[in-house]
Amino acid sequence: MAVDDPNSKNAHVRLDQLVDLATPFAVRTAVTLRIPDQIAAGVRQLDELAKVCEADPGALARLLRYLVHKGVFDEVSPEVFALTDVGELLCDRSGGGRGAYLDMDSLGTRTDLALIGLPHAIRTGEPSYATVHGRDYWADLDARPAMRAYFDELMLSQQLFTAPEVAALYPWHEVGSVTDVGGGSGGLLAELLAAHPHLRGTLIDRAEPVATAAGRFADRGVADRAEGVVGDFFSPLPSGADVYVVSRALTDWSDRHAAAILRRCAEAAGSTGRVLVVEVLPTEPWVPHLSPYDLTMLVSVGGRERGVDDFVALAAEADLALRKTYSGTGGLTLLEFGAA
């Protein structure tokens, strides 16, 4: 079909929309130069914006007008700009904020840029992060404390959201000791110990989050019952705890790796301990290929989203059988496993 055939136009337009890279980079550049923040602070005139954002006025005008066209900014009078509701979202630099994620110097953009290696990931089934950035995701976080801190803050915001319910849903009064495997900076474990003063806890993770967790345990007044251990959940775990929690960590891994983590938990839990998988599962029927997140998980860490049946199948590979399921709000799901 000829390119100028009117019947083909639609497909060309749709293809252009699919492959456009200028728009995502334009939005991220605006965030990186802190243009939305400056406009929100009252710097709205082109030359003043160029000055405070250290930009070339002519180039900045082109960027701003392109993003006006895309609905990020308004040009309310000649060379005077305002934020749209979309633009306002870009000012949010909090842990889960869009501005924090989209800044070109952020972990968010660094993670998304692993998509350059998508051909490698599709050919091999392995993450491409290391081929793009020189080392795997977790080693990269180890080497970049600011990005690790951002990641931990992001995880913490989610842990603090679900922890009170995890503390209430499970019969912790029947448990003496809990180990949080890949527990991050300790938000969940600290809340469990604070809610259940008889409980003792161990957190296992990489060095940086374990150090952060120590501060969190102290802040929550549970440091005398909490221990942080720098460890690797692919290696044997300290045995003897009543419950081994794995909260939202399996999603970061392929089936082979996730089953290996569960195997380590199963070994440590032995015949009497329990393995408690904590996940926030989609509340609506969720179709992986409808979400770009699925491909981002593949390229960054080799992980994937799973449903309850998938976790049960993974656990079976680690000789674990489902004992009980606890359901909370917003898709929060606790799957309790014991030796099969």
Q: Which residues bind ligand SAM (CB under 6 A)?
A: 138, 155, 158-159, 182-184, 188, 204-206, 209, 231-234, 247-249, 252
**Is the Cβ of residue 234 or residue 293 nearer to ligand SAM in the bound state?**
234
CA distance 318 to 53: 54
Q: How far is the CB of 205 from ligand SAM (least distance, A)?
A: 4
* Dihedral angle over CA of 252, 254, 258, 259, nearest 10: 170
Q: Please list, in sequence order, all residues whose beta carbon lies within 8 angstroms of the beta carbon of residue 119, skipping any fewer than 6 positions away.
A: 128
92: three-class secondary structure by DSSP? coil
Q: How far is the CB of 340 from ligand SAM (least distance, A)?
A: 24
Q: How far is the CB of 303 from ligand SAM (least distance, A)?
A: 9
What kind and span of H or E run contains 279? strand 274-280
Q: How far is the CB of 40 from ligand SAM (least distance, A)?
A: 30
Q: How far is the CB of 289 from ligand SAM (least distance, A)?
A: 22
Q: How far is the CB of 178 from ligand SAM (least distance, A)?
A: 12
CA distance 294 to 240: 36
Q: How far is the CB of 151 from ligand SAM (least distance, A)?
A: 7
What are residue 3's phi and psi, to 5 degrees? -65, -35
Q: How far is the CB of 220 from ligand SAM (least distance, A)?
A: 16
**Is the Cβ of residue 188 or residue 243 nearer to ligand SAM in the bound state?**
188
**Is the Cβ of residue 45 or residue 157 nearer to ligand SAM in the bound state?**
157
**Is the Cβ of residue 202 or residue 247 nearer to ligand SAM in the bound state?**
247
Q: In the Cβ-directed half-sphere of 98, how many Cα atoms lie within 13 Å?
A: 14
Q: Please list, in sequence order, all residues whose beta carbon lies within 8 angstroms of the beta carbon of residue 157, skipping any fewer than 6 positions away.
A: 94, 95, 96
**Is the Cβ of residue 160 or residue 322 nearer to ligand SAM in the bound state?**
160
**Is the Cβ of residue 155 or residue 193 nearer to ligand SAM in the bound state?**
155
**45 DSSP assignment:** B
**Is the Cβ of residue 73 or residue 233 nearer to ligand SAM in the bound state?**
233
**114 DSSP assignment:** G
226: three-class secondary structure by DSSP? strand
**Is the Cβ of residue 81 or residue 101 nearer to ligand SAM in the bound state?**
101
Please check whether residue 262 is in contact with residue 275, taking contact to mean a CB–CB distance below 8 angstroms. yes
Length reported for the chain? 340
CA distance 97 to 137: 21
Please check whether residue 214 is in contact with residue 222, taking contact to mean a CB–CB distance below 8 angstroms. no
